[in-house]
Structure 1
Amino acid sequence: MDVLPFVGQRDHRLDPKDRVVIPAAFANAIRDHHGGRLYLVPSADVPCIEAYPARTYEQEASQQVPSRFAGDQRGRRLFFHNAEPVDLKGPGRITIPERLRRYFPQGIVRIAGMNTYLELWDPDAWEKHLGDASSCLPLPDSGSGHEPRAE
């Protein structure tokens, strides 16, 4: 059975025990298809944490050379040396390891789908690095039926 891609985004607050709730649709897929395990890896490109479901991470590991690093030994070291396995607990919570908490100074985590994995962002860092991305999207033409609805 194919796993649906991880898409969309949600903000969740870290609780007093440094846990964050993974959105239900994501958590269910991680439980059902990946044994409830994620690998948290600091991104090599942007200030976020990449959260790989177990099977996805294991596929990257079995290749020995993650395709995104194209033979870069430093990138492989970052990917493998910094990985932190975490398991979903209760209603889809994970504990953010102490050394990764600095990514979320306000205690808010934006969880964003990236097809086969998730990204965990501080909302301010997200806005700084990706806030302009929506300006690249085309505006709907009048009469296209895709105009925003008045609420």
Structure 2
Amino acid sequence: MFKLDDVKAALLRWRAARRREAATPPDEAGRSEARLQVQVLARRRGGAGPSPRQVDDEIARQIAEAEKRGDLRGAEGYGKPLTEDDGWQQTPDEVRMPFKMLKSAGIVPHEVELIRERAALRQRLAAATTEAETRAAQQALAQVELTLALRMESLRR
């Protein structure tokens, strides 16, 4: 389980690197310090860019530096485990991150909207007084349930 301080530390490192890169004036060749570091790593490796291992090592180095400086201690939730959202374990692995991003952005996934619409249609069906209202609510409910079943099945695959 990730801890909030791990995630925030990585974010703070990334932001600090971006600020340093933006604050660093380009050298005579028009490249920033960060780009030069990437090119040096690429030359050592003999390829176009750093390997994933080199990137991971650089991130770990920057995290360690931030921890030594104490930059991470002021982060909200530092040292506390991340709280799991409701339904996190029930959500399929392949859609957890997209759904988490949607939730963080305040956007409801389409499947959740369909579930809410289904509940509203069931209430409308229960409150229907005429046969025409009942038939219309049943048709709409059947359509929403079919759409929801298809969407949920596609998520399971």
TM-score, L = length of structure 2:
0.23
Structure of larger gyration radius: 2
Larger relative contact order (Cα-Cα within 8 Å, sequence gap ≥ 6): 1
> As a proportion of its length, which structure holds more helix?
2
Instruction: Name the TM-score, length of structure 1 as normaliser.
Output: 0.24
